[in-house]
Structures are given as structure tokens and as C-alpha cells.
């Protein structure tokens, strides 16, 4: 890997990890303050509204991912005209989308408070929707195309740094407002206004550092496969957002709140792993654009192994520790039963499946194989919806977790098979071996750690439990991987020692 590539990858990975760490810390602080000040039903309402506003991301039909893929080649070739044409076409699309968002918000303001009129009056819900929607609008109107350009150019660290600052400012502002007795509407309005700063900064940065011809004309659409990203994007939303919407429509706001508390931890862990891959897609896209297939094969082999091993370690510890953490986090809140061990196990495995599919999904996105993979995304989406709705009445939280789990297993296996046959000629038996190692690791490490007790309901006791669990899992992961992947372990160890020696 070239020196410049390596530096960009390192910068993107480090700032992305810092962003996820900041997001996780803020994600624990702000919802806990809301729970303590306003109760489980208001927390459930906030999460439900956020999920319904998230539906608007469906309307970009995956164009964001296609835009980023379209930019790899012109950026690699420094083709300024092509970059400008793609930028202008994408900007027009997302500005139209922002207007559709306004129309959707108006409909939501009228309909949602009537649907959810179980516990809150009309104006309480309507004003909360208005406060939350500002950040969604600003993302599409000001910031999204600039984010995609920076990501494609391996400069994601610019926007990650800006986002870290806005998250810190938001956490401080929310804590002050809640302490002073501000309403939930005021808290969420402040959040939206602070998050407006990031897209405005990106507008300024791109204008200063990129020579984009915003008046350029084009006779044919510069973004190929513009509509073929729909299935991937739609499925990604459904797999990530169906649970909250199904619970809102067919269950209770208390269950939405319980789900959201577990999801704080799960999303934090998942995003920490996702942040490790933020620089990979643009790097793989550049290798494919330059037809560096041997380099790509070698690089992908390590990406697959590292993500599988990291996912097994991190999500394995999460599965053991999740209920203990929720017990501590919700201590003193007794308006809902937050201790749900079976749900915790299922939702952990389902989201681990999402991370295990990452290397294969990254390859599909980087190669721009949208049209070819639509059937897989459609089937996974239908599976999740049908199973979740069919089982939520019987098993509540567990039912929606089963729907997500089944869809994730199907999609992960299908993607690995597709990549091995159509993009990288990667042996599928290697994927099966990797999954076997993952399962063996989880079984042995779970048996070794599931009886480690939480000595008291406090963060200090949970931290001691977490350290003990993590050390046990780390030792077992290292031993099993050294047995089955000795060459990769040795290479990684030598590379780490070399870097420390240079330092």
C-alpha cells in the first residue's frame, strides 16, 4: 500500500474511531438524562419520531452510495469535468429530496400525533416532530453531496472531525437545558440547530479546496446506475429501522423505549466496528478502478479476517455484558421492565451478523454492483418485515429481533457467495471456515464467561465485570486464531512490532 494511501487510511480510521467513541459516550449520556427527566414513554416517543423521520432516507433510493462509487474513477484520474458533472447532478437530486422531506414532515405533523394519541396530546407530539426534523432537512439540502465527495476522495477525516465537535457541543447543551428544566421540544430543537453547523462547514470546505464547476452542463446522466442503488438502500433502512416502526404500530411505547436502550449499546458497538471500515471502501474502489487485482485480493484477505475476528470479540463480550449494563443504566427507572436477557442475546447476534457481512458488502459497493445484487436485498427486506410483523404480537421485542436475525444470516451468506463468484474470485470455503472459527470461539468463550457475576448494581462493579470478561475472551480469541490462522497472526504481530520499533 502506498505511503499516501496508508496515511489517509490511518487518518480516516483514527478520526472515525474517535467519532464513534464520542457518539457512544453522548449516546449514553443524553438518553439517560431524557429518561430521568421525562420518563420511558417520552424517550420512546423521541425514538419513534426519529425513526419515522428516518424513512425519508429511503427516498434517496441509494443514490448516495452510487454517487460515491461513481466518483472513485474520476478522482483517481483527476478528471475535474467528470467530478463536476457528478457533483452537480447529485446536488440537484438531493435538493429535490429536501423539498419532498418538507412535504413528508407536513403529513407526519398531521397524521402521527393522531396515530400515537395514546399518551400525549396533539401539540406535544407535533412540536416535537418539528424540532427534530430540522437536522434531517439540513443534511439533504446542504451537506450530503459534500460528505460523499470527501469520503470518495479518502478525506472522510474532515467531516468526522467536524462531527465530533458538534456532538460534544450538543451533549453539553442538552445537559444544561435538562438541568435548567427545559422542555423536551427545546432540547431536541437545540440538537437540530447545533447539527446544522456541520453541513454548513462542509459547504465552505469543499468550495475552498475543490475546483467544482457548478454551472457545468451535461447531455447524459453522469451517475450511472442512479436508480439501481434503490434495493440496497431500502433494505439497509428496513434491516436497521423496521424494529422500531413495527413496535410503534403493533406494541407499546414502553417497548420502543426498552428497545432503544438496548439499541444504544448495540449501535455504539456496531458503529465502532463500522468506523474501522470507513477508509476501506474508497481504497478498494481505487484499487478496482486501477485494476490492481492482486493487491486487492491480498488486502481483502486481511480485511475479512480482521473484521470477523473483531466482530466475534467485541460482540461476544457485548452479549455477555449487555443485560448487566442495562441493569445499571436503568437503575431507579421502574416504569418498564428493562431486563430482557433473551432479547439481548438475539439482538446482539443479529447485529453481529450485520458486521460480519461488512467486508462482502464493501466489495459490492466499491465495485458498483448495484443492479446485480438487488434480488438479495429485496429478499432480506421482505424476510425482516414479514417475520417481525408475524411474531411481534406473540413475542414482542423477541419477535422483531428474530426477524432481523434471519434476514442478516441470509444476507451475509449470499453476499460472501456473490463476491467469491463475481468480483474477487475469493474461495467460498474460506468464508465457511471463517464462520466455523467464529462459532467455535463464541461457544468456548461464552461458556468460560457467562457466570462471571455483577457484584453490585453500579458502574464500578460493571467495569470490573467487563474487564474480566474481555480478558477471558481476548485470550480465547488469540489462541483459536493462532491455531487456525497462524500465518495472519504472525504477520500482524511482526507489523505491529515493526511500527512500535520505528516509533
Among residues 133, 53, 148, 145, the alpha carbon closest in space to that of 95 is found at 145
Domains in the chain: how many in total?
2
Average pLDDT over residues 173-190: 88
Q: Which residue has the higher pLDDT, 247 or 205?
A: 205
For 86-109, the pLDDT digits (tens) are 888 888 888 887 787 788 888 888
Ramachandran bin of 291, using left for φ above 0, alpha for ψ from -120 to 50, beta for the remaining angles: left
Instruction: Let me know whether 159 and 253 are in one domain.
Output: no
Instruction: Let me know whether 62 and 191 are in one domain.
Output: yes
Long-range contacts (CB closer than 8 Å, 24 or more residues apart) made by 172-176: 174/29, 174/30, 174/33, 175/29, 175/30, 175/33
Instruction: Let me know whether 398 and 459 are in one domain.
Output: yes
Domain's final residue, options 175, 198, 227: 227
Evaluate whether residue 502 is within a structural domain.
no
Instruction: Let me know whether 321 and 405 are in one domain.
Output: yes
**pLDDT of residue 118 exceeding 70:** no
Give the per-residue pLDDT at 59: 57
Evaluate whether residue 496 is within a structural domain.
no
For 2-31, the pLDDT digits (tens) are 556 667 777 887 888 888 889 888 888 888
Give the per-residue pLDDT at 133: 80
Evaluate whether residue 98 is within a structural domain.
yes
Give the per-residue pLDDT at 452: 93
Cα torsion through 188, 190, 196, 197, rounded to 10: -140
Evaluate whether residue 221 is within a structural domain.
yes
Give the per-residue pLDDT at 290: 76
C-alpha span between 72 and 127 (Å, rounded): 42
Strands, DSSP E only, in 29-83?
Answer: none
Evaluate whether residue 317 is within a structural domain.
yes
Instruction: Let me know whether 205 and 325 are in one domain.
Output: no
Domain's final residue, options 201, 227, 253: 227
Domain's final residue, options 227, 251, 267: 227
Decide: residue 299, CB within 10 A, 0-12 exposed, 13-18 middle, 19+ buried: middle
Cβ density class 166-180: b for 16+ within 10 Å, e for less: bbeebbebbeebbee
Instruction: Let me know whether 248 and 178 are in one domain.
Output: no
Average pLDDT over residues 452-464: 93
Neighbours of 449 (CB within 10 A): 21
Among residues 202, 203, 45, the alpha carbon closest in space to that of 132 is found at 45
Instruction: Let me know whether 454 and 391 are in one domain.
Output: yes
For 122-153, the pLDDT digits (tens) are 888 888 888 878 777 777 677 788 888 888 88
Evaluate whether residue 500 is within a structural domain.
no
Question: What Å distances lie between residue 81 and 67, 75, 214, 325, 432, CA to CA?
Answer: 15, 10, 10, 53, 44
Instruction: Let me know whether 255 and 351 are in one domain.
Output: yes
| The three cell numbers locating residue 478 | 488469540
For 150-171, the pLDDT digits (tens) are 888 888 889 889 989 999 998 9
Neighbours of 316 (CB within 10 A): 25
Question: What Å distances lie between residue 191 and 113, 133, 168, 170, 415, CA to CA?
Answer: 21, 10, 11, 6, 37
For 39-70, the pLDDT digits (tens) are 877 877 887 777 777 666 655 556 777 788 78
The top-scoring range by mean pLDDT among 35-44, 346-355, 462-471, 481-490 is: 462-471
Give the per-residue pLDDT at 224: 63
Instruction: Let me know whether 152 and 166 are in one domain.
Output: yes
Neighbours of 111 (CB within 10 A): 11
Average pLDDT over residues 364-372: 77
What is the span of the domain harbouring residue 25?
Answer: 1-227
Instruction: Let me know whether 328 and 409 are in one domain.
Output: yes
Instruction: Let me know whether 416 and 347 are in one domain.
Output: yes
C-alpha span between 366 and 263 (Å, rounded): 28
Give the per-residue pLDDT at 237: 65
For 379-424, the pLDDT digits (tens) are 888 888 899 889 888 888 888 889 888 988 998 999 999 988 888 8
Report CA 367 to chain centroid distance, whole Å.
Answer: 20
Evaluate whether residue 335 is within a structural domain.
yes
Evaluate whether residue 481 is within a structural domain.
no
Instruction: Let me know whether 117 and 255 are in one domain.
Output: no
Give the per-residue pLDDT at 236: 67
Weakest-pLDDT range from 157-171, 195-209, 334-348, 486-500? 486-500
| Secondary structure of 34-49 as H, E, C letters | HHHHHCHHHHHHHHHH
Among residues 55, 60, 139, the alpha carbon closest in space to that of 104 is found at 55
Amino acid at each position: 500500500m502506498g505511503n499516501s494511501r496508508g496515511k489517509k487510511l490511518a487518518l480516516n480510521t483514527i478520526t472515525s474511531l474517535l467519532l464513534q467513541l464520542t457518539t457512544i459516550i453522548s449516546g449514553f449520556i443524553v438518553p439517560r438524562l431524557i429518561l430521568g427527566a421525562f420518563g420511558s414513554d417520552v424517550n420512546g416517543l423521541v425514538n419513534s419520531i426519529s425513526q419515522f423521520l428516518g424513512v425519508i432516507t429511503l427516498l434517496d433510493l441509494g443514490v448516495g452510495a452510487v454517487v460515491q462509487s461513481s466518483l472513485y474513477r474520476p478522482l483517481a484520474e483527476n478528471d475535474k469535468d467528470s467530478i463536476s458533472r457528478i457533483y452537480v447532478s447529485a446536488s440537484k437530486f438531493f435538493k429535490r429530496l429536501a423539498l419532498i422531506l418538507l412535504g413528508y414532515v407536513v403529513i407526519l405533523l398531521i397524521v402521527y400525533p393522531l396515530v400515537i394519541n395514546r399518551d400525549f396530546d396533539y401539540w406535544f407530539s407535533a412540536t416535537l416532530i418539528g424540532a427534530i426534523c430540522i437536522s434531517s432537512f439540513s443534511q439533504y439540502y446542504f451537506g450530503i453531496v459534500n460528505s460523499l465527495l470527501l469520503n470518495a476522495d479518502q478525506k472522510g477525516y474532515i467531516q468526522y472531525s467536524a462531527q465530533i465537535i458538534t456532538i460534544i457541543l450538543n451533549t453539553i447543551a442538552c445537559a444544561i437545558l435538562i438541568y435548567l428544566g427545559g422542555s423536551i421540544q427545546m432540547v431536541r430543537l437545540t440538537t437540530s440547530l447545533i447539527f446544522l453547523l456541520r453541513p454548513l462547514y462542509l459547504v465552505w470546505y469543499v468550495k475552498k479546496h475543490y475546483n467544482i464547476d457548478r454551472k457545468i452542463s451535461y447531455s447524459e446522466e453522469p451517475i450511472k446506475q442512479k436508480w439501481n442503488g434503490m434495493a440496497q438502500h431500502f433494505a439497509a433502512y428496513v434491516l436497521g429501522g423496521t424494529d422500531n416502526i413495527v413496535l410503534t404500530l403493533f406494541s407499546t411505547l414502553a417497548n420502543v423505549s426498552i428497545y432503544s436502550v438496548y439499541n444504544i449499546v448495540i449501535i455504539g458497538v456496531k458503529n465502532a466496528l463500522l468506523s474501522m471500515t470507513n477508509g476501506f471502501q474508497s481504497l478498494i474502489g481505487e484499487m478496482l478502478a486501477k485494476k490492481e487485482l492482486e493487491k486487492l485480493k491480498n488486502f481483502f484477505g486481511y480485511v475479512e479476517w480482521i473484521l470477523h475476528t473483531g466482530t466475534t470479540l467485541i460482540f461476544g463480550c457485548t452479549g455477555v455484558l449487555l443485560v448487566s449494563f442495562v441493569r445499571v443504566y436503568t437503575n431507579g427507572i421502574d416504569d418498564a421492565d428493562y431486563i430482557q436477557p433473551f432479547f439481548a442475546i438475539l439482538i446482539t447476534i443479529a447485529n453481529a451478523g450485520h458486521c460480519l457481512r461488512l467486508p462482502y458488502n464493501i466489495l459490492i459497493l466499491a465495485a458498483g454492483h448495484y443492479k446485480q445484487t438487488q434480488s438479495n436485498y429485496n429478499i432480506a427486506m421482505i424476510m425482516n418485515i414479514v417475520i417481525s410483523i408475524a411474531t411481534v404480537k406473540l413475542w414482542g421485542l423477541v419477535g422483531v429481533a428474530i426477524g432481523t436475525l434471519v434476514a442478516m444470516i441470509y444476507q451475509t451468506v449470499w453476499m460472501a457467495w456473490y463476491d467469491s463468484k463475481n468480483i474477487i474470485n475469493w474461495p467460498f470455503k474460506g468464508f465457511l471456515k471463517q464462520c466455523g472459527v467464529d462459532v467455535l470461539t463464541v461457544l468456548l468463550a461464552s461458556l468460560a464467561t457467562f457466570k462471571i457475576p455483577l457484584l453490585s448494581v453500579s458502574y464500578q462493579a460493571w467495569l470490573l465485570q467487563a474487564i474480566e470478561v474481555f480478558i477471558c475472551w481476548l485470550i480465547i480469541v488469540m489462541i483459536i486464531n493462532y491455531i487456525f490462522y497462524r500465518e495472519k497472526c504472525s504477520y500482524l504481530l511482526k507489523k505491529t512490532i515493526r511500527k512500535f520499533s520505528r516509533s
